[in-house]
Amino acid sequence: MTQQAGTTADFPGPEDVFGPSHADGGPELVQLLTPEGERVEHPEFSFDLDDEAIKGFYRDMVLTRRIDVEATALQRHGELGIWAQLLGQEAAQIGSGRALAPQDFVFPTYREHGVAWTRDLDPLRLLGLFRGVDQGGWDPNANNFGLYTIVIGAQTLHAVGYAMGMQRDGVVGTGDAERDAAVVAYFGDGASSQGDVNESFIFAASYNAPVVFFCQNNQWAISEPFERQSRVPLYQRALGFGFHGVRVDGNDVLACYAVTKAALQRAHEGSGPTLVEAYTYRMGAHTTTDDPTRYRLSSDVEAWKLKDPIARVKAYLTRNGLVDDSFFEEIEEEAEQLGHHLREGCKALPDPSPLSVFDHVYVDQTPELAAQKEAYAAYLDSFEGAH
């Protein structure tokens, strides 16, 4: 790890703390694949999978971007009320998501569509929340993927509590790779200002909980730039809480995979939490209701386009002759099918019954709520033509 807790020598000096934030992520950025598609080595982190895996990551990222594009279009067509775009964050999500073991558990924000993809959640299930037919109706325990959480940062505490449960279940530090489990808490640069996120750091450190805090620093919390949230690089905050922090190129899927894998390894073996700051950029709007032209320069967006997470993998695969045209054509065909699935599936999502609102407020429904439901049903039935 780049930062060792408890050793003064590794604490940042004043020049690191008070210097300008680095537009390129700074010299501390872990990178294994350059924007030009060249593999580079890092003294601490290495990518230990083969080129087949990289091809798989490429496919994941293209399909994830397609989910995002289709959902955005569905919102424009009035089929979704809103959509939170992930454009530009595909590498951070696919790289970290693919580093997870099946027994690991994910606590997402509402933008983790790529992570959901790595957990084999049907992307159609994500749309219900944004269409307004449910509030995230998937079973968190079916894919070890928690429900989207809209209150910023609240899920990081849930993640730590879940990890504390894993400790009590004896599935941490057993040495059995099939058994050792950990939690990944996703959040963003804006959430880093929330009390809950800071409390989650404290609880995780205090109990040495098996958690990877995966922060996608996409530079923007709606209209507020990263500098409004923090005067130090976020990964350095981990030091103050007593655990490791590392900044990774969030647009480099190989580095995101390698760093997350290493952090998970530490969590699995019982070495406690790690903060990963994936340095990336929100290429789209905050959501489909947002207008980023009001608060940021198009030249910044253009500069980040040159660091596109998918383009660099394509360059790597092509330059090294690892794929031919049919590879890209097959993925494109798959993306078409996925788009069709989302378009048709979204429109077919049924509206819930108005009476269903009463059903899951409690495990054991109260007599007064049962009476309210009954009265409302009778009221609805009182209209002419009601059935």
Partner 1 sequence: MAEVSTGSTQRITLAKGLNAGLRAAMENDPKVIVMGEDVGKLGGVFRITDGLQKDFGEDRVIDSPLAESGILGTAVGLAMRGYRPVCEIQFDGFVYPAYDQIVSQVAKIHFRSQGKVKMPIVVRIPYGGGIGAVEHHSESPEAQFAHTPGLKVVSCSNPVDGYFMIQQAIACDDPVIFFEPKRQYHADKAELDESLTLADADPLFSSRVVRAGSDLTLLAYGPMVKTAMQSAEAAAGEGKSIEVIDLRTLSPLDMGPVLESVRKTGRVVVAHEAHVNLGMGAELAARITEECFFSLESPVLRVGGFDTPYPPSRIEEEWLPDLDRVLDAVDRALAF
Where along the sequence are the contacts to partner 1 (CB under 8 A)? 107, 134-137, 139-141, 146-147, 149, 151, 154, 156-169, 183, 195-196, 199-200, 202-203, 206, 359-364, 366-369
Let me know if 376 is a catalytic residue: no
Q: Which is nearer to partner 1, 38 or 134 (CB)?
A: 134
Let me know if 286 is a catalytic residue: yes
d(CA 117, CA 60) in angstroms, rounded, equals 8
| Torsion of the alpha carbons at 260, 262, 267 and 268, rounded to the nearest 10 | 110
Q: How far is the CB of 292 from partner 1 (least distance, A)?
A: 28
Q: How far is the CB of 208 from partner 1 (least distance, A)?
A: 13
Q: Which is nearer to partner 1, 360 or 387 (CB)?
A: 360
Three-class secondary structure assignment of the chain? CCCCCCCHHHCCCHHHHHCCCCCCCCCCCECCECCCCCECCCCCCCCCCCHHHHHHHHHHHHHHHHHHHHHHHHHHCCCCCCCCCCCCCHHHHHHHHHCCCCCCEEECCCCCHHHHHHCCCCHHHHHHHHHCCCCCCCCHHHHCECCCCCCCCHHHHHHHHHHHHHHHCCCCCCCCCCCCCCEEEEEECCHHHCHHHHHHHHHHHHHCCCEEEEEEECCEECCEEHHHHCCCCHHHHHHHHCCEEEEEECCCHHHHHHHHHHHHHHHHCCCCCEEEEEECCCCCCCCCCCCHHHCCCHHHHHHHHCCCHHHHHHHHHHHCCCCCHHHHHHHHHHHHHHHHHHHHHHHHCCCCCHHHHHCCCCCCCCHHHHHHHHHHHHHHHCCCCCC
Q: How far is the CB of 248 from partner 1 (least distance, A)?
A: 25
What b/e readout covers 121-142, taking b as 16+ CB neighbours within 10 angstroms? bebbbbbbbbbeeeebebeeee
Active-site entry in 113, 119, 282, 312: 282
Let me know if 282 is a catalytic residue: yes
| Torsion of the alpha carbons at 110, 217, 310 and 106, rounded to the nearest 10 | -40
Q: Which is nearer to partner 1, 61 or 197 (CB)?
A: 197
Q: How far is the CB of 273 from partner 1 (least distance, A)?
A: 13
Q: Which is nearer to partner 1, 25 or 190 (CB)?
A: 190
Q: Which is nearer to partner 1, 149 or 218 (CB)?
A: 149
Q: How far is the CB of 72 from partner 1 (least distance, A)?
A: 24
Q: How far is the CB of 27 from partner 1 (least distance, A)?
A: 34
Q: Which is nearer to partner 1, 18 or 362 (CB)?
A: 362
Q: Which is nearer to partner 1, 336 or 359 (CB)?
A: 359
Active-site entry in 76, 295, 319, 362: 295
Q: Which is nearer to partner 1, 151 or 306 (CB)?
A: 151
Q: How far is the CB of 285 from partner 1 (least distance, A)?
A: 25
Q: How far is the CB of 129 from partner 1 (least distance, A)?
A: 9
| Torsion of the alpha carbons at 151, 127, 225 and 284, rounded to the nearest 10 | 180
Active-site entry in 98, 286, 312, 316: 286
Residues with a catalytic annotation lie at 282, 286, 295
